[in-house]
Amino acid sequence: MQNYPLLNLFWTMLEFFVWILWFFLLFKILSDIFRSHDMSGWGKAGWIILVILVPFIGVLAYVIVRGKSMGQRDAEQAQKADAAFKQYVREAAGPSGGSGASGHVDELARLAELKSSGALTEEEYQKAKDKILA
């Protein structure tokens, strides 16, 4: 049986964690290089060569030089993904006119607003609600 003290186990776990973190950062930077629209093809090629041939210096230089714009591109990407998701939900929900479940929800919400503002009595509200749900 091999002697492997607890401290060595923690040290190995730390080394493994840093190794995984390094690869995450490397792939994040490579994807950012390809995603960047403000850089020419030669600029992208230069950064890729620097990051691959001299990885530690290349990654640190990229984070120092382009770190701020990297965050802005991430935020823009998140906004685009959010907008695309919201558009998909709107399309999947169907038309919001007078037809479909979404139209009923809109009409019920409008009726509730009219009732809360006092424009409709409870009896008028119930009749209109029953008519929509029928």
Integer CA distances (angstroms), 80 to 33, 36, 37, in order: 18, 15, 15
pLDDT at 97: 47
pLDDT averaged per 10 residues, the chain (length 134): 76 93 92 90 93 91 91 89 86 60 76 83 85 80
Which SS3 state, helix, strand or coil, does residue 114 take?
A: helix
Please tell me the predicted confidence (pLDDT) of residue 98.
Answer: 45
